[in-house]
Amino acid sequence: MKTGKHLAMLAVCLVVLWASRFGPYTCGSLPAFTGETGSSWLAIAANGLFLVLLMYLPVYDFIALLTYKLGWELKFDPLVVYEGEFSTNPVSTKTRRVLYAVDIAVVGFFLVPLWTKAAYCG
């Protein structure tokens, strides 16, 4: 089922990239995001890849939770972030939840407008 979760995660990320064109960010309201983003394919690919990479962990764990809640899997199996050395503990659940909130905020307030500017306003 891990392959299915990875494919579902990729599909959700691609839907977010596609649906961003219908979001509240219009080309006229994004003048601050003019930095190095142009209409080149490199800027579009870099912004899209960075957006997918930052969404990877929260979306994968959401899909893992969803498959567990729907009964498709017997246990909740989140993605392991960092197990650490043998003498250290892995990242705690509380820390992960805080990092998920920060991750989603960065994606929503910075990366989606940057992607929209590069992909649709170039």
Higher pLDDT, 29 or 66: 66
**Contact residues for 16 (Cβ-Cβ < 8 A; gap 6+):** 51, 55, 112
**Does 90 fall in a domain?**
yes
Q: Domain range spanning residue 108?
A: 2-20+40-120
What are the tokens at 58?
């929260």
Is residue 25 within 8 A of residue 118, CB to CB? The reply is: no
Number of domains in the chain: 1
CA distance 17 to 24: 14
**Does 86 fall in a domain?**
yes
**Does 26 fall in a domain?**
no
3-class SS of residue 71: coil
**Does 29 fall in a domain?**
no
pTM above 0.75?
no
| CA atoms within 13 Å, Cβ hemisphere of 37 | 24
pLDDT in tens, 45-70: 888 888 888 888 888 888 888 888 88
Distance spanning both ends of the chain, measured CA to CA: 39
Q: Residues 32, 101, 22, 113: what is their CA dihedral angle, to the nearest 10 degrees?
A: 20
What are the tokens at 57?
């962990």
**Does 6 fall in a domain?**
yes
pLDDT in tens, 77-106: 777 666 656 656 667 778 878 888 898 888
Kindly calculate the radius of gyration of the chain based on its CA atoms and give it in whole angstroms: 17
pLDDT at position 37 is: 45
**Does 97 fall in a domain?**
yes
